[in-house]
Amino acid sequence: MADRITLQIARYRPEQESEATFDEFDVPCPKDWVILDGLNHVKDQLDGTLAYRWSCRMGICGSCGMTVNGEPKLTCATFLHEYAPGPIRVEPLRNFPVIRDLIVDIGDFMRKLVTVKPWVVRDEERPLAAGEFRQTPDEMDEYKQYSMCINCMLCYSACPIYGLDPKFLGPAAIALAQRYNLDNRDQGSGERMEVLSEHEGIWGCTFVGECTKVCPKHVDPAGAIQRYKLTAALESMKSFFLPRGA
Amino acid sequence: MQAMHHGDLYTDYHPRWLRRHVSTYWWLEKRSYFAFILRESTCLFVAWFAVYLLLLIAAVVDGPDAYARFLAWSASPWMIVLNIVSFALMVFHAITFFDAAPQALVVHLGHTRVPGPVVLIGHYAAWVVASAAVIWLLTRAS
Nearby residues of A59 by Cβ (< 8 Å), 6 or more positions away: A74, A76, A77, A150, A216, A217
Residue A89 sits at φ, ψ, to 5 deg, of -100, 120
On whether both A40 and A157 belong to a single domain, the answer is no
A25-78 pLDDT, tens digit per residue, is 999 999 999 999 999 999 999 999 999 999 999 999 999 999 999 999 999 999
On whether both A120 and A71 belong to a single domain, the answer is no
- Residue among B1, B18, B26 whose CB faces A160 most closely: B26
CA nearest A151: which of A35, A222, A64? A64
A96 vs A168: CA distance, rounded Å: 13
On whether both A60 and A98 belong to a single domain, the answer is yes
In a domain, A53, yes or no: yes
On whether both A189 and A148 belong to a single domain, the answer is yes
Containing domain of residue A95, as a range? 4-104
In a domain, A80, yes or no: yes
The CATH number of residue A229's host domain is: 1.10.1060.10
On whether both A149 and A183 belong to a single domain, the answer is yes
The CATH number of residue A52's host domain is: 3.10.20.30
On whether both A93 and A175 belong to a single domain, the answer is no
Q: Which of A64, A87, A104 is the last residue of a domain?
A: A104
User: For chain A, where are the alpha helices, taking DSSP H only?
Assistant: 35-41, 107-115, 137-147, 154-158, 160-164, 171-181, 189-196, 210-214, 221-241
On whether both A98 and A117 belong to a single domain, the answer is no
Any A CB within 8 A of B28 CB: no
Q: Which of A64, A83, A104 is the last residue of a domain?
A: A104
A149-178 pLDDT, tens digit per residue, is 999 999 999 999 999 999 999 999 999 999
Task: Find residues 129-168 of chain A whose CB sits inside 8 Å of chain B.
Answer: 138, 141, 160, 163-164
Give Cα A202 to chain centroid, integer Å. Answer: 16
- Is pLDDT above 90 for B113? no
Q: Which of A104, A135, A167 is the last residue of a domain?
A: A104
Any B CB within 8 A of A44 CB: no
On whether both A156 and A35 belong to a single domain, the answer is no
Residue range B9-104 forms a domain whose CATH class is mainly alpha
Any B CB within 8 A of A6 CB: no
A70 vs A89: CA distance, rounded Å: 8
In a domain, A246, yes or no: no
The total domain count for chain A is: 2
pLDDT at A129: 92
CA nearest A28: which of A38, A15, A19, A18? A38
On whether both A8 and A48 belong to a single domain, the answer is yes
Q: Spell A113-130 as b/e; 16+ CB within 10 A means b.
A: bebbbbeebeeeeeeeee
On whether both A78 and A195 belong to a single domain, the answer is no
- Is pLDDT above 50 for B1? no
CA nearest B55: which of B74, B42, B83, B81? B74
pLDDT at B7: 43
ipTM of the complex as predicted: 0.81
Choosing among B25, B26, B96, B103, which should be mutated to test the A contact, i.e. which has the most A CBs within 10 A?
Answer: B103
pLDDT at A104: 95
Any B CB within 8 A of A98 CB: yes
- Is pLDDT above 80 for A197? yes
Cβ-count burial of A101 within 10 angstroms (0-12 exposed, 13-18 middle, 19+ buried)?
Answer: buried
